[in-house]
Amino acid sequence: MEDQTGRVLLPPLVRVSYARLNPAGAYILENGQSLYLWLGREIPSEFLMDVFGVATLDEVDSGMVRVLCLSVFSLSLPLSLSP
């Protein structure tokens, strides 16, 4: 979202806690130096296939440092920055 001056408004920061993560979700976590992609154990296989080209979470290469460059609109799941 943008405000009247054209600045991008981000959602409020939320302290990360395992209890706040949806087991069917995917989250980008950052600490100012590194980015992490957290994938829940119940994440839909359609999402895994669209993003990683695999059918199960066990097939995702945890050492991967790059993902496919896709348009957000081509994914079958909506992505949200909201907590």
For the 18-74 domain, the top CATH level (class) is: alpha beta
What end-to-end distance do the CA atoms of the chain give, in Å? 15
Q: pLDDT tens digits for 28-51?
A: 888 888 888 899 999 999 999 988
DSSP label at 2?
Answer: B
Domain ranges, ordered by start, for the chain: 18-74
Answer yes or no: pTM beyond 0.85: no
Residue 51 is inside which H or E element, if any?
A: helix 45-52
Q: pLDDT tens digits for 1-23?
A: 667 888 888 778 777 788 888 99
